[in-house]
Amino acid sequence: MQGDTQQQHETFRGMLALDEYGTRRIKQWMKHSIEPALRQLGKVIMQISQSVYTANKRFRIIQPSAIQEEREQELNIPIYNDMGQAIGKSMDYSAAKFDVRIVAGSTLPVNRWAYLAELKELLQFGVIDDIAVLAETDVRNKEQIAKRKSLYSQLQGQLGQLQEAVKDKEGTIETLERQLVQAGIKGKVMQAEMEITKKKEEVKGDIKDTYRSTEAKQKLLQNVMSNEVDSSKKDLSREVQFAKKELQSNNKNK
């Protein structure tokens, strides 16, 4: 550390600032001296390993990535023909072409607790996700945890879709219930209209029947009265004739 370390800070922000202040010169030296040397050393080791590892070999790589903690890689896998003779190699390491890459800042000291605290703050702000925070921790079985988190997120998404579907179904059910109530009201109104129309027709029929009966009675009464008048006329005519005959007979006797 090439800096003023007398004033100590209690918070991780102060420690992070102290690390930044104390490693400024180291970063320049690492970038222009150490990292080019490591890159050149990697190329030399690559050439040596390509001439050394010619047989079938299986490597176990510890933590190749932040989430995948362990992985196996097999090189120079022999390829056999139908006769059981080796005719070639799969994953031939001696013929591989690749570059050596230096990860920026990988050779510098890092205050890991301050870095984790910073990741937590970024997670709260929504800049990164929880998988990125998990990748920087020392928790075991991170790969399985990431798979479970992925499964949980899928289940959560499916749950959200099911909830939306249930809401749509509930809305459809409410709409159908309203339509059913309206249809019931319309049916009752139509039934009432039909009953009113039926009663109306019945009343009309009763009135017509009463009118026909009254008309028939009137005609019968008229006929009876006409017959009585005719009978009275006949009786009066007979009396008149009888009176004339008596008057004539009386005149003759005188």
pLDDT one-digit tens code per residue, 84-138: 888 888 888 888 887 777 665 555 555 667 777 888 888 888 888 887 787 777 7
Cα 228–Cα 232–Cα 238 angle in degrees, nearest 5: 145
**116 within 8 A of 133, measured Cβ to Cβ:** yes
Mean pLDDT over residues 233-241, rounded?
80
How confident is the prediction for the chain on average, in pLDDT? Answer: 78
pLDDT band at 1 (very low <50, low <70, confident <90, very high): very low
Residue 190 has pLDDT above 80, yes or no: yes
Helix axes 12-22 and 112-125, enclosed angle (nearest 10): 120
**C-alpha to C-alpha distance for 210 and 76, rounded to whole angstroms:** 117
**70 within 8 A of 61, measured Cβ to Cβ:** yes
- pTM, rounded to two decimals: 0.36
The CB-side HSE value for 206 (13 A sphere, CA atoms) comes to 6
Residue 239 has pLDDT above 50, yes or no: yes
Listed residue (154, 134, 149) closest to 65, CA to CA: 134
pLDDT of 210 reads 82
Q: Which residues contact 134 (CB under 8 A, 6 or more apart)?
A: 67, 142, 145, 146, 149
pLDDT digits (tens, 9 = 90+) for 124-174: 888 888 877 877 777 777 777 777 777 777 787 788 888 888 888 888 888
Mean pLDDT over residues 33-38, rounded?
83
Share of residues in the chain with pLDDT > 90 (%): 0
Mean pLDDT over residues 15-44, rounded?
74
